[in-house]
Amino acid sequence: MRVPLPVVLLSCALIIGGLWWKWTQGKDFLAPPSEETLATVRQQAAQPAAAPLRQEATVEKKAVSAESAPPSVEPPLDPGDLVTAPALNAYASEAKKGADHLIRLAKRLEELGSPSRALLAWERVLDFGKGDPIQSTEALKAIRRLRATAPLWNVDPEGSLPLILHVGAIPAMAEKLKPLLPEIARALERASGGIVTVSTDLVVGKKPVSGTESPPSALWLSGGPKEAPATEPVPFLNDGGEREIYSAVFQLVRTKLSRSSAYAAPTAAGSTEDPRGALTCNITRFCWQDFARAMNVIPPAPAAIAPPAPGTKPASGTKPVVGRPVAKPVKPAAKPLVKPVKPGSTKPAPKPKAKPVRDADQE
């Protein structure tokens, strides 16, 4: 085993020092040292003298590498044009960067004094950001705070999209609901930010037979035109009051929006959450607009199929359109009572003969 050079040098220094000490004491420095002295020298020589130097070099190397490593810096945020009025789907293109990016962007917009744009960014966390439950909860809190002071997105009734709130109930329940429906309609308009205009339609059913259980009430939404589509009816309890109605409306709107793959489904309302607040915050204004547009799309009428020619059979699988008048084949005109005159067959009528003129003398 090779002894390190520092250890050899230290051993020599200790031996020389010991001899020098003995020489100064008047002893013979040529005499060999005692066994105790040699044992002490060996013990001191066996201790690692270069370890602290090696450890200090390691610590210094780590410090240098830590100083040379660049600090982690988040990429700068681009809030975009803060002067031009934003669209209702603003910052949707930023959603591909993730919910964390949208949250940072929303907070930055609030710092810049643009709460209306920050509200749009927070809404994108819900409908386009695909945030986890923690991120969605943070976005809902911010939306609830900002919507409390935000003006209506649309203040022009002519620019809003029409919806009809249909409610079916027995006569006794209809009398209770009749004064509540106008206020519920106005609440839905405010929840959408003025994007929709809601009218009501109360359908009164028959009075239940005595001794039988009263059927539950139901509500559904449809577009403004008569031919517009409608949602499935959602039942609600007759004694539930306004909270039950708002919860039923939120359920049917959320169900309709959940069928679209263009955005995430609205966050479900908790059992203790106010359904009226869920209509305002959980359903973003962009989703309200998309829902109202879908409810006002009139499906195209089916094309009419021409009837088969007389004497021919219709092609297999084709049926005439039910409910649409089909043109009847034109019957040939009736035979004329007077035979038509053929050209060239007519004879000129004979001229009348002139009567002879009598002379007055002959009479």
Q: Which band of pLDDT confidence, cut at 50, 70 and 90, is reported for residue 53?
A: very low
Distance between CA atoms of 307 and 119, rounded to whole angstroms? 58
Residue range(s) defining the domain that contains residue 132: 92-147
Q: Which band of pLDDT confidence, cut at 50, 70 and 90, is reported for residue 359?
A: very low
- Strongest mean pLDDT among 38-47, 311-320, 339-348, 352-361: 38-47
Sorted by sequence, the CB contacts under 8 Å of residue 109 that are 6+ apart come out as: 79, 115, 117, 118, 121
pLDDT, position 337: 43
Residues 24 and 130 in one domain: no
Q: DSSP per residue over 175-228, as a string?
A: HHHTTTHHHHHHHHHHHTTSSEEEEEEEEE-PPPPTTSPPPPEEEEEEESSTTS
pLDDT, position 237: 78
343 part of a folded domain: no
Q: Judge whether residue 136 has pLDDT over 90.
A: yes
Residues 200 and 261 in one domain: yes
Average pLDDT of the residues of the chain: 79
Residue whose tokens read 């990016």: 101
Residues 179 and 220 in one domain: yes
Residues 47 and 133 in one domain: no
Residues 137 and 164 in one domain: no
Domain boundary pick from 295, 312, 341: 295
pLDDT, position 301: 76
Residues 98 and 220 in one domain: no
Residues 246 and 131 in one domain: no
Residues 109 and 225 in one domain: no
Q: Which two tokens stand for residue 48?
A: 């690692």
Percentage of the chain beyond pLDDT 90 is: 50
The 10s digit of each residue's pLDDT in 155-164 is 998 899 999 9
Name the DSSP class of 230: B
- Strongest mean pLDDT among 74-78, 273-277, 341-345, 346-350: 273-277
339 part of a folded domain: no
Strand order in the sheet with 234-236: 196-204, 161-169, 217-223, 234-236
Q: Which band of pLDDT confidence, cut at 50, 70 and 90, is reported for residue 338?
A: very low
Distance between CA atoms of 76 and 186, rounded to whole angstroms? 42
Choose the weakest-confidence range: 50-59, 220-229, 237-246: 50-59
Residues 250 and 282 in one domain: yes
**Over residues 223-233, mean pLDDT:** 94
pLDDT, position 63: 53
Residues 52 and 173 in one domain: no
pLDDT, position 118: 97
pLDDT, position 16: 75
Residues 165 and 287 in one domain: yes
The 10s digit of each residue's pLDDT in 72-109 is 556 677 788 888 999 999 999 999 999 999 999 999 99
Q: How many domains does the chain have?
A: 3
The 10s digit of each residue's pLDDT in 249-303 is 999 999 999 999 999 999 998 878 899 999 999 999 999 999 999 999 988 877 7
Nearest of 230, 254, 236 to residue 165 by alpha carbon: 230
Sorted by sequence, the CB contacts under 8 Å of residue 180 that are 6+ apart come out as: 242, 245
354 part of a folded domain: no
Distance between CA atoms of 107 and 117, rounded to whole angstroms? 10
Tell me if 296 sits within 8 A of 224, measured CB to CB.
Answer: yes
- Decide which of 63 and 89 is more confident: 89
Sorted by sequence, the CB contacts under 8 Å of residue 172 that are 6+ apart come out as: 207, 214
Domain boundary pick from 295, 321, 347: 295
- Decide which of 338 and 132 is more confident: 132
- Decide which of 108 and 36 is more confident: 108
Q: Which two tokens stand for residue 233?
A: 């009816």
- Strongest mean pLDDT among 9-13, 150-154, 311-315: 150-154
Q: Judge whether residue 333 has pLDDT over 80.
A: no
Distance between CA atoms of 143 and 120, rounded to whole angstroms? 9
pLDDT, position 342: 52
Tell me if 245 sits within 8 A of 181, measured CB to CB.
Answer: no
Choose the weakest-confidence range: 18-27, 190-199, 251-260: 18-27
152 part of a folded domain: no
pLDDT, position 215: 86
pLDDT, position 363: 41
122 part of a folded domain: yes
171 part of a folded domain: yes
**Over residues 225-253, mean pLDDT:** 89
Residues 127 and 234 in one domain: no
Angle 157-160-164 from CA coordinates, rounded to 5°: 100
350 part of a folded domain: no
Q: Judge whether residue 335 has pLDDT over 60.
A: no
325 part of a folded domain: no
Domain boundary pick from 295, 323, 358: 295
pLDDT, position 170: 92
The pTM score is 0.65
Q: Which two tokens stand for residue 285?
A: 């204004």
